[in-house]
Amino acid sequence: MSYRSQSPNVIYASRMAATVIFCACLSITSAAQVSITGKIAGTITDPSGAAVPNASVSVSGPALMAARSMHTQPDGTYLFDLLPPGTYSITTNAPGFRTVQQTGVIITAGFTATINSRLVVGQVNETLNVAAGSSTVDLQNVQSETTFDQNLLQDIPGGRDPWSTVAQMPGVTLTTFDVGGNQSMQQSTMQVHGSTPGEQIFSWNGLDLNWPGANGGYTQFYTNHDSLEEFQVVADNAPSAVSISGIYMNMVTKSGSNTLHGQAAGYYATAATQASPKLPTFNGTPVNSGSPIFLDRDTTASLGGPLIKNKWWLFGSYRRYDVDLSILTVRDQAGNPVQDINHQTNTDLRSDWQLGQKNRLSFVWLYNSQNRFFRRDTAYQFVTAEASWRQIEPAYILQALWTSQITNNFLLDVRTGYNKEVFPLGYQPTVTPTDFTRQDLTLSTETGAAPFSFANPSWVFKITAGASWYKGALAGSHNFKFGWEWGDSYNPYVYKINGGINAQYTNGVPTDVVAFDTPFTEKTYFHDSSFYVQDAWTLKRRVTLNLGLRYDRYISFYPKQSSSPDLTFPDLFPPQTFPASGNLVEWNNVSPRVGVAFDVTGKGTSVLRFGYGRYYKMEGTQLVEQVNPVGFAGQGYTWNDANGDGIPQVSEWKNAANFLFAFGGTSTHIDPNMSRPYSDELNVTYEKQLWRDLRVSAAYYYRTKKNLVGLKNLAQPAAAYEPVSGFTNGLTGQPLTLFNLSTAAPSPNILLTNISELNDNSYHGLEFDAVKRLSKKWQLLTGFTIQRQKGTVCCPGITGLTDDALFGDDFNDPNKDINRRNNYLNQDATYVFKVDSTYEFPWKIGTSVNFQHYTGFPF
């Protein structure tokens, strides 16, 4: 959204545009490839503790179609990379020693299990079977992550969507609070350990396929919870393969197996199964709040198995999800809460081929239809059903995945994906082309038809290739990773308005007509590419250095654009053609990642981690959309309803004598020297396995952000304002000085640039976590976070939950500086406490808890 010309209707125009952007963004990048697999690493020694080189080690398990094998390095080390989540067995043999088979090795996405083996003298044909033990502490990686396996995904009560799942993770805050699924149809903005709110990637099988609009941090695909094998969240100390330092959600889809398996499930809730909402009070009067469910019905079915054992697996699933809510804050004129009717369907298919012993090829097709039948314009208090929007939103994802074991120590991983969605805000089926929007500014009603029809047919294409090479006995062992990524993203906005007008009234009396430059299509693109290298260098078996470097390139532009040949009012809005912009934003950045993991005791049960990284802020199309010349423009006219029918005829308003105002065009331009915002993050963590599968950790997090972006009105510099005293600050009670422009305000000249004042910010956090895998009939995920984030705030009194000062701010206006500095930032909840746990009683009776406590966000 760009700044528009100052007119009597600028509030109306800004309100409409802001509503459009808000609806588009929250119903909905930088590329990143994160591991959808895990590793098993270890050292093979003889009874004296000396390394056994060239020993044969193999890994097998239900998630592998074909067993994999390798020989140990001269220092006795080995590594199996690119292992799908599952349970594995490790078999080791060497001449003069008994064969050792270690079972029960659990691998999750991104986890490295350290499985060492001390061989026993004997014959190779003698096999020693041992339980591998519970390897719960990752001794090599430094990234902070939480993995929701099937036990957590299925047994912890929640909304069965990405946002309510991430909400269970220690330290994470969200802008919505889901209760039993009542927020499942609306996205949430997430933050963790001082990250930028909304810096979040929805990764499918390790491939970022976010919606390209806004900052690139929202999704255009709603999930089928039961189609996921694992849901991995990377939050801090991400390796160089990951671009961001916010919420990286890696959703690994289920596959077939060598046995036929399936699942059918149903979930049902009504108003009778929930407590009545407890309303807040203001001055002793209850205030309507909340969105209780009056119907929640979720049904899923899935089936997977082999077409050819060890060669070809298939998996498919289907979901139908209905959520109907009462919106207590939005009432009809009779005082009844309006109903929000929603349903979602998903179809998911996956096919996996094993091509020989060393190649695996997978194809994934995911389809989602997200339907919300009565979305209302928030600018008016009373919006009738026919004036609401109908959202019938189809989306699909296509993916191809190839992994290849080139040699025993060199593996290749190639992925490509395409995500297409059409996000609509359409007219209701009962609305005809002659129906128009009736807006009563006094009664705060909107009737007749929605204010516009909108579509966002966006798409994103990504391709990435990565390689993993393992080399031992080179001043320690090394796991080198390097890769390349490229993405192409397109984000158009298509607007139409019945009759090209909105009619406005006061207490039912016609007052004016606003005419628009519709139909039009606004188009914006961005391309992103990157290259990364990473080495996990293990020294003397107890110290692992994680050394990484990442290069990112981002460009954004708009193409050549022309007015529609079907303009409703070409005489008011003459057709125009705008040339292609060229690269309006072009960034090339290099970011280091450094980490150290130290096995404190040498027993593999405790680790001390240190991590530092620079992370450049993710970006979508929002910057170039600020300056795109195609967008809403309009003119307002007095409406003389001569025949008294309440329907605006062209002859009743469209003449020069009735002209009131005009708005439209853009006065914003981008600083060609604007640098990309980034954050520097530092983390220290101590983690210890206390007992069997139970591990605890304590961590300190620090973060600061630089080169943040904002707006300056160059036509009104700070020197153009003069002080006016005699006011009192309502927050502090101290004298307050306000400022007036010393001269008449000229037309705005808005510069989008880096704002040095926003460099003043810091985050400090302490977190204590405990995690236990499901064993002995119980599991646990809990965390307590103490945090503080302060600094200079953007958009004071307007947004409050973002680092981007892109809307409604002006760093040349001294009035905006009041209460701006030393402020609480973003979603800064001082204390966050969460407990997720299940326990199975006798007779297979299970109980579970999902408890979350947050102190309030900054006001």
Strand partners, 696: 688, 770
Give DSSP secondary structure letters for 830-844: SEEEEEEEEEEEGGG
Q: Please report which confidence band the pLDDT of residue 36 belongs to, taking 50, 70 and 90 as the band edges.
A: confident
The pLDDT value given to residue 745: 74
Q: What is the mean pLDDT of residues 661-670?
A: 92
610 forms beta bridges with: 596, 684
Which residue in 797, 578, 794, 666 sits closest to 17, CA to CA? Answer: 666
Name the nearest CA neighbour of 42 among 89, 112, 100, 144. Answer: 112
Percent residues over pLDDT 70 in the chain: 94
543 band by pLDDT with thresholds 50, 70 and 90: very high
Around Cβ 488, how many Cβ atoms within 10 Å? 16
Reduced DSSP (H G I as helix, E B as strand, rest coil) percent helix, strand, coil of the chain, to 5: 10, 55, 40
Supply the pLDDT for residue 797: 56
The C-alpha atoms of residue 822 and residue 824 are separated, in whole angstroms, by: 7
Most confidently modeled range among 122-136, 260-274, 648-662, 744-758: 648-662
User: Is the pLDDT score of 133 beyond 80?
Assistant: no
- String of DSSP letters for 99-144: EEEEEEEEE-TT-EEE--EE--BS-TT-EEEEE-----S-SS---E
111, 69 contact by CB (below 8 A): no
> Which of 539, 374, 530 has its CA nearest to residue 462?
530
Q: What is the spatial distance between Cα 774 and Cα 432, in angstroms, rounded to a whole number? A: 57
Q: Is 473 exposed, middle or buried (0-12, 13-18, 19+ CB in 10 A)?
A: middle
200, 246 Cβ separation under 8 angstroms: yes
Report the share of the chain in percent with pLDDT over 90: 73
Confidence of residue 128 (pLDDT cuts 50, 70, 90): confident
Delimit the CATH 2.60.40.1120 region(s) of the chain: 38-131
CATH topology of domain 144-253: Ferric Hydroxamate Uptake Protein; Chain A, domain 1 (2.170.130)
User: What is the residue whose two structure tokens read 């129906």?
Assistant: 435
436 neighbors 449 (Cβ within 8 angstroms) = yes
Q: Are 223 and 252 in contact (CB under 8 A)?
A: no
Q: Is the pLDDT of residue 821 over 60?
A: yes
Kindly state the tokens that stand for 752. Answer: 């989008």
Give the rounded distance of the alpha carbon of 224 from its chain centre. 16
Q: Which pair of structure tokens corresponds to residue 506? A: 């006061």
Q: What is the pLDDT of residue 23?
A: 40
Question: How many whole angstroms separate alpha carbon 855 and alpha carbon 827?
Answer: 10
Q: Is the bond into 8 cis (omega within 30 degrees of 0)? A: no
Q: What sign does the CA torsion over 209, 214, 217, 220 have?
A: negative
Contact 97, 124 (CB under 8 A): yes
| Residue 724 CB neighbour total at 10 angstroms | 12
Distance CA 609, CA 687 (A): 8
Question: Could you give the angle at the alpha carbon of 16 between the alpha carbons of 379 and 338, nearest 5°?
Answer: 30
Please give the residue that has the higher pLDDT: either 396 or 827: 396
Bridge partners of residue 157, in order along the sequence? none
Q: How many helices (H) and strands (E) does the chain have?
A: 5, 52
Q: Selecting from 1.10.760.10, 3.40.50.2300, 2.60.40.1120, 1.20.1250.20, what CATH number does the domain 38-131 have? A: 2.60.40.1120
* Average confidence (pLDDT) over 642-662: 95
Cα separation, 85 vs 36, in Å, equals: 8
The Cα–Cα gap between 23 and 187 comes to 10
Residue 240 DSSP one-character state: T
281-320 residue pLDDT tens: 878 888 777 788 878 999 999 999 999 999 999 999 999 9
Distances (CA, A) of 133 to 137, 147, 571, 696: 12, 20, 78, 18
- C-alpha 669/C-alpha 711 separation (Å) is 10
Residue ranges, comma separated, of all CATH 2.170.130.10 domains in the chain are 144-253
pLDDT digits (tens, 9 = 90+) for 88-102: 999 999 998 999 999
Exposed / middle / buried, residue 595 (Cβ in 10 Å: 0-12, 13-18, 19+): buried
Residues 759 and 679 sit within 8 Å (Cβ to Cβ): no
Residue with tokens 């209850």: 286
Residue 186 has what pLDDT? 84
The whole-angstrom separation of Cα 451 and Cα 538 is: 62
| Residue 801 pLDDT grade (very low, low, confident, very high; cuts 50, 70, 90) | low
